Structure 1
């Protein structure tokens, strides 16, 4: 099952997945990501993965297809937080962090849920701050 969950930051798409994920559930998440991309210059993702077992074959194909369409446009993403106690999921997320340098990927234990929420909600410097407030006054 894959459900969208709320996050206080508008640029964050948060979801919770467990058990078996279907193509219909995955499509709802993709639609939410695309809507966030239309509304914000940078989008962050948060995935709470609790006892995730597998995706149906149609969901897996949809996930791969959508992922491939995103490879050329990763600069629209800022951060991805993966919240899980499953070691294999953490290892995959850490590998993706090394492969996709444009997107910061952080892994968090379920007990660090609040830290993950705060971290993924931070916007990149410059997307929400006035440079004058940081002491920068131009060259």
Structure 2
């Protein structure tokens, strides 16, 4: 299950759990792109309590849309990832190290307030 909400004009919250298949990934990316419209200097909060590896089809859908997703990066400055799964936080922070213009930081699920404070802090 994936839910994307837009609690403010420059913020998206994504709640991800379960397995991502190709159709779910396609719908999620469509929703993410639509809700990113008009976002400037935005922040993202991903909450991932439990997630299995995406299916091969889901990964293929994401790779096919990478150019479009890279263009969206300019809309965001920070992304906090809440998860108790170490591999999810590690992958998120590795992405943050290689993606230009966006900081990505992992937090435990119990650190929601710390993640919110980090997102609200001015960028470097």
TM-score bin, normalised by smaller chain: 0.7 to 0.9
Q: d(CA) in 2 for partners of 1:8 and 1:37?
A: 12
Q: d(CA) in 2 for partners of 1:90 and 1:42?
A: 22
Question: Would you say 1:87 and 2:86 are equivalent positions?
Answer: yes
**Partner residue of 1:60?**
59
Structure 1 length normalisation: TM-score? 0.72
Q: Which runs of 5+ in 2 are unaligned?
A: none
Structure 2 length normalisation: TM-score? 0.79
Q: Which runs of 5+ in 1 are unaligned?
A: 126-139
Contact 1:15 1:29 in 2 (8 A): no
Q: Name the count of aligned residue pairs.
A: 123
Contact 1:13 1:32 in 2 (8 A): no
How far has the Cα of 1:73 moved from its partner?
A: 5.4
**Partner residue of 2:2?**
2
Counterpart mapping for 1:104-123 below 5 A: 104-120=103-119, 122=120
How far has the Cα of 1:9 moved from its partner?
A: 2.4
- Of 75-84 and 102-111, deviating more is 75-84
* Cα distance change, pair 42–26 in 1 and its aligned pair in 2 (3 A): farther
Whichever of the two has the greater Rg, that structure is: 1
Aligned-CA RMSD value? 2.4
Q: d(CA) in 2 for partners of 1:19 and 1:94?
A: 21
**Partner residue of 2:96?**
97
